[in-house]
Amino acid sequence: MATFDEQRKKAFDFCADATKQLVALSSAIVAFMVTFAKDFVTNVADDAKTYAYIAWGLHVVSIVLGVLVLLALTAQLEPKNPAASSPAAIPTIRGSAATYSWLQIVFFVLAMSVTAFFGWKAAHAPPPVASKEVVLEKKMDELRAEVDKLKSELGTITQTQATAQGDVRRQLAELISKVQKLRDELKPQKTRSMQKAPPGRQH
Protein backbone atom coordinates (compact mmCIF):
# COMPACT_ATOMS: atom_id res chain seq x y z
CA MET A 1 0.00 0.00 0.00
CA ALA A 2 1.38 3.41 -0.93
CA THR A 3 2.23 5.86 1.81
CA PHE A 4 0.26 9.10 2.08
CA ASP A 5 1.64 12.61 2.27
CA GLU A 6 1.68 15.00 5.25
CA GLN A 7 -1.54 16.73 4.19
CA ARG A 8 -3.49 13.43 4.15
CA LYS A 9 -1.96 12.47 7.49
CA LYS A 10 -3.23 15.72 9.01
CA ALA A 11 -6.68 14.99 7.61
CA PHE A 12 -6.67 11.68 9.50
CA ASP A 13 -5.47 13.39 12.67
CA PHE A 14 -8.08 16.16 12.47
CA CYS A 15 -10.89 13.69 11.79
CA ALA A 16 -9.85 11.50 14.73
CA ASP A 17 -9.46 14.50 17.06
CA ALA A 18 -12.87 15.93 16.13
CA THR A 19 -14.47 12.53 16.66
CA LYS A 20 -12.83 12.16 20.08
CA GLN A 21 -13.99 15.64 21.10
CA LEU A 22 -17.61 14.85 20.26
CA VAL A 23 -17.40 11.51 22.07
CA ALA A 24 -15.93 13.21 25.13
CA LEU A 25 -18.62 15.93 25.15
CA SER A 26 -21.48 13.45 24.79
CA SER A 27 -20.02 11.20 27.49
CA ALA A 28 -19.56 14.14 29.89
CA ILE A 29 -23.11 15.40 29.33
CA VAL A 30 -24.66 11.97 29.87
CA ALA A 31 -22.51 11.33 32.96
CA PHE A 32 -23.40 14.74 34.42
CA MET A 33 -27.13 14.37 33.84
CA VAL A 34 -27.21 10.81 35.19
CA THR A 35 -25.18 11.78 38.28
CA PHE A 36 -27.54 14.64 39.10
CA ALA A 37 -30.67 12.95 37.78
CA LYS A 38 -32.43 13.49 41.10
CA ASP A 39 -32.17 17.27 40.64
CA PHE A 40 -32.45 17.48 36.85
CA VAL A 41 -35.00 14.78 36.06
CA THR A 42 -36.87 13.50 39.12
CA ASN A 43 -38.17 16.88 40.28
CA VAL A 44 -39.53 18.08 36.93
CA ALA A 45 -42.82 17.55 35.15
CA ASP A 46 -43.42 14.25 33.37
CA ASP A 47 -43.52 15.79 29.89
CA ALA A 48 -40.08 17.36 30.48
CA LYS A 49 -38.62 14.02 31.59
CA THR A 50 -39.35 12.56 28.16
CA TYR A 51 -36.97 15.04 26.53
CA ALA A 52 -34.21 14.10 28.98
CA TYR A 53 -34.53 10.41 28.06
CA ILE A 54 -34.53 11.26 24.34
CA ALA A 55 -31.40 13.40 24.78
CA TRP A 56 -29.61 10.56 26.59
CA GLY A 57 -30.47 8.15 23.78
CA LEU A 58 -29.22 10.54 21.08
CA HIS A 59 -25.98 11.15 22.96
CA VAL A 60 -25.40 7.41 23.32
CA VAL A 61 -25.97 6.90 19.57
CA SER A 62 -23.51 9.73 18.86
CA ILE A 63 -20.90 8.04 21.08
CA VAL A 64 -21.35 4.70 19.30
CA LEU A 65 -21.00 6.37 15.90
CA GLY A 66 -17.82 8.08 17.09
CA VAL A 67 -16.32 4.72 18.01
CA LEU A 68 -17.28 3.41 14.57
CA VAL A 69 -15.48 6.39 12.96
CA LEU A 70 -12.27 5.57 14.81
CA LEU A 71 -12.55 1.90 13.86
CA ALA A 72 -13.11 2.84 10.20
CA LEU A 73 -10.03 5.08 10.23
CA THR A 74 -8.02 2.27 11.76
CA ALA A 75 -9.23 -0.10 9.06
CA GLN A 76 -8.04 2.34 6.41
CA LEU A 77 -4.56 2.45 7.90
CA GLU A 78 -4.32 -1.31 8.45
CA PRO A 79 -6.63 -3.38 6.17
CA LYS A 80 -7.45 -6.97 7.06
CA ASN A 81 -5.68 -8.40 3.98
CA PRO A 82 -2.81 -6.11 2.93
CA ALA A 83 -1.68 -8.59 0.26
CA ALA A 84 -5.00 -8.29 -1.57
CA SER A 85 -4.91 -4.49 -1.53
CA SER A 86 -3.76 -2.54 -4.53
CA PRO A 87 -0.21 -1.18 -4.16
CA ALA A 88 -1.43 2.17 -5.36
CA ALA A 89 -4.24 2.36 -2.81
CA ILE A 90 -3.86 5.26 -0.39
CA PRO A 91 -5.67 5.45 2.98
CA THR A 92 -8.54 7.95 2.96
CA ILE A 93 -11.00 9.38 5.44
CA ARG A 94 -13.79 9.05 2.90
CA GLY A 95 -16.09 6.08 2.58
CA SER A 96 -17.47 4.49 5.73
CA ALA A 97 -15.44 6.78 8.01
CA ALA A 98 -16.98 9.88 6.44
CA THR A 99 -20.47 8.39 6.64
CA TYR A 100 -20.14 7.54 10.32
CA SER A 101 -18.61 10.95 11.00
CA TRP A 102 -21.51 12.82 9.41
CA LEU A 103 -24.02 10.69 11.29
CA GLN A 104 -22.18 11.32 14.54
CA ILE A 105 -22.33 15.07 13.97
CA VAL A 106 -26.05 14.95 13.12
CA PHE A 107 -26.94 12.94 16.21
CA PHE A 108 -24.74 15.14 18.40
CA VAL A 109 -26.48 18.29 17.16
CA LEU A 110 -29.89 16.67 17.71
CA ALA A 111 -28.86 15.55 21.20
CA MET A 112 -27.66 19.04 22.15
CA SER A 113 -30.85 20.59 20.77
CA VAL A 114 -33.07 18.22 22.77
CA THR A 115 -30.90 18.74 25.87
CA ALA A 116 -31.27 22.51 25.56
CA PHE A 117 -35.04 22.18 25.04
CA PHE A 118 -35.25 19.92 28.09
CA GLY A 119 -33.46 22.57 30.16
CA TRP A 120 -35.88 25.24 28.97
CA LYS A 121 -38.87 22.97 29.55
CA ALA A 122 -37.73 22.00 33.03
CA ALA A 123 -37.12 25.64 33.98
CA HIS A 124 -40.52 26.89 32.80
CA ALA A 125 -42.78 23.91 33.46
CA PRO A 126 -44.40 23.85 36.94
CA PRO A 127 -43.19 21.06 39.23
CA PRO A 128 -45.53 18.11 39.77
CA VAL A 129 -48.12 18.91 42.43
CA ALA A 130 -49.40 16.25 44.78
CA SER A 131 -53.15 15.71 44.58
CA LYS A 132 -55.41 16.43 47.54
CA GLU A 133 -55.91 12.71 47.97
CA VAL A 134 -52.16 12.15 48.38
CA VAL A 135 -51.89 15.03 50.88
CA LEU A 136 -54.78 13.69 52.96
CA GLU A 137 -53.34 10.18 52.98
CA LYS A 138 -49.99 11.54 54.13
CA LYS A 139 -51.67 13.41 56.98
CA MET A 140 -53.54 10.26 57.94
CA ASP A 141 -50.30 8.29 58.07
CA GLU A 142 -48.77 10.93 60.34
CA LEU A 143 -51.78 10.88 62.64
CA ARG A 144 -51.79 7.07 62.74
CA ALA A 145 -48.14 7.15 63.79
CA GLU A 146 -49.00 9.56 66.63
CA VAL A 147 -51.92 7.35 67.68
CA ASP A 148 -49.69 4.28 67.83
CA LYS A 149 -47.13 6.21 69.85
CA LEU A 150 -49.77 7.37 72.37
CA LYS A 151 -51.17 3.86 72.64
CA SER A 152 -47.74 2.51 73.49
CA GLU A 153 -47.29 5.26 76.08
CA LEU A 154 -50.73 4.52 77.49
CA GLY A 155 -49.80 0.89 78.04
CA THR A 156 -46.79 1.85 80.17
CA ILE A 157 -48.68 4.18 82.49
CA THR A 158 -49.32 2.70 85.91
CA GLN A 159 -52.46 3.02 87.99
CA THR A 160 -50.87 5.73 90.15
CA GLN A 161 -50.50 8.02 87.16
CA ALA A 162 -54.21 8.60 86.70
CA THR A 163 -53.87 12.27 85.80
CA ALA A 164 -51.30 11.63 83.08
CA GLN A 165 -53.39 8.72 81.88
CA GLY A 166 -56.39 10.98 81.48
CA ASP A 167 -54.36 13.49 79.45
CA VAL A 168 -53.09 10.77 77.15
CA ARG A 169 -56.59 9.36 76.68
CA ARG A 170 -57.88 12.82 75.82
CA GLN A 171 -55.10 13.38 73.26
CA LEU A 172 -55.75 9.95 71.83
CA ALA A 173 -59.44 10.70 71.42
CA GLU A 174 -58.63 13.99 69.64
CA LEU A 175 -56.26 12.25 67.26
CA ILE A 176 -58.77 9.53 66.48
CA SER A 177 -61.34 12.24 65.77
CA LYS A 178 -58.91 13.93 63.36
CA VAL A 179 -58.22 10.65 61.60
CA GLN A 180 -61.94 10.05 61.17
CA LYS A 181 -62.41 13.58 59.83
CA LEU A 182 -59.61 13.11 57.28
CA ARG A 183 -61.05 9.75 56.30
CA ASP A 184 -64.41 11.41 55.63
CA GLU A 185 -62.69 14.04 53.46
CA LEU A 186 -60.72 11.38 51.61
CA LYS A 187 -63.76 9.29 50.61
CA PRO A 188 -65.10 11.80 48.04
CA GLN A 189 -61.61 12.18 46.56
CA LYS A 190 -61.28 8.40 46.06
CA THR A 191 -64.79 8.26 44.61
CA ARG A 192 -63.95 10.95 42.05
CA SER A 193 -60.66 9.22 41.20
CA MET A 194 -62.50 5.96 40.53
CA GLN A 195 -65.06 7.77 38.37
CA LYS A 196 -62.28 9.42 36.32
CA ALA A 197 -60.38 6.16 35.85
CA PRO A 198 -60.92 4.21 32.57
CA PRO A 199 -63.58 1.46 32.82
CA GLY A 200 -60.96 -1.28 32.48
CA ARG A 201 -59.06 -0.04 35.53
CA GLN A 202 -61.97 0.27 37.94
CA HIS A 203 -62.32 -2.59 40.43
Average pLDDT over residues 123-133: 60
Q: State how far the Cα of 148 lies from the Cα of 110, in Å rounded to an integer.
A: 55
Choose between 121 and 54: higher pLDDT: 54
Q: Give every CB contact of residue 29 below 8 A, 6+ residues apart in sequence.
A: 59, 111, 115
DSSP single-letter state for residue 80: S
Position 144 pLDDT exceeds 90:
no
The alpha carbon of residue 69 and the mean position of all alpha carbons in its chain are separated, in whole angstroms, by: 28
Predicted model pTM: 0.54
Question: With bands split at pLDDT 50, 70 and 90, how would you rate the model's confidence at 108?
Answer: very high
**In the predicted model, what is the mean pLDDT of the chain?**
76
Of 53-57, 73-77, 170-174, which one has max mean pLDDT? Answer: 53-57
Q: Where are the alpha helices (DSSP H) in the chain?
A: 6-35, 37, 46-77, 96-124, 132-156, 162-196
Position 53 pLDDT exceeds 70:
yes
Side-chain half-sphere CA neighbours of 76 within 13 A: 24
Residue ranges of domains in the chain: 6-124, 132-201
Q: State how far the Cα of 144 lies from the Cα of 30, in Å rounded to an integer.
A: 43
Q: What percentage of the chain has pLDDT greater than the value 90? A: 17
Return the HEC string of 42-79: HCCCHHHHHHHHHHHHHHHHHHHHHHHHHHHHHHHHCC
Position 203 pLDDT exceeds 50:
no
